[in-house]
Amino acid sequence: MAKHLTLTLAVLLSGIATAADDDKHQPIDLQPYSNQKRGDSFGVDAENNLGKLPGGDQTFGGVKMKIEPGIIQLGSSVLETMPAKVEGIKVDGKCSKIHILHATQFGGGPNKEGSPWFVKDGTPIGEYVVKFEDKSSLSVPIVYGKDVRDWFFADGEPETERSKIVWTEENTFATSVGAKIRLYLTTWDNPKPEKKVVSIDYVGKKDETVAAPFCVAISLEK
């Protein structure tokens, strides 16, 4: 009888822990702001996409994310059809951390120094502007080499300083140029967790760099 009660209690506690962990992360809905389908071509080649990225509720680097069909793609000096920024991404919640699943087009992979599509480490390529209910705001910078690198990569490339690679795969076009694809998880510690985050602006540097950042998912951590 005691053994049965111990087992039942263990199962109950496990269920409570799982529920608490599920409630810890709150995915943000990016679909009203998306401008690129992850299964569609990211360029002229039809097989250059994130079609193999699993959709729905997923966990990357211990963070629960919701992977939807649409992502947000910013423009650059070589991706002129996409916007320089996407403003007013609705958050409406308090958090201790913000987790971002993202990367950038161009900069590395098959592009070497001296190439017109190469981006030097330390180059600012964008930011997330976090806006609070008290009308204040803080910047989460996106620096090439520190926070992201090109989603195309070749073996032997250095890691980023502030983010971690949480997903790697292949697509047909990347393979044709000797590369694979990847996504990064950036975690930002919120210095004002007691204040509600109203919205986030996603801002690139379209006129200053070839790097074209894209955001796949964002989750708050309570």
Q: What is the pLDDT of residue 216?
A: 98
What does the pLDDT read at residue 14? Answer: 42
What's the pLDDT score for residue 21? 55
Please report, for the chain, the start and end positions of each structural domain, with discontinuous segments joined by +.
26-221
Residue 53 confidence (pLDDT)? 98
Which regions of the chain are under pLDDT 50?
A: 5-20
Predicted structure pTM score = 0.89
CA angle 182, 37, 96 (to 5 degrees): 60
pLDDT of residue 1: 53
Give SS3 for 67: strand
Position 84, amino acid: A
Helix (H) or strand (E) holding 164: strand 164-169
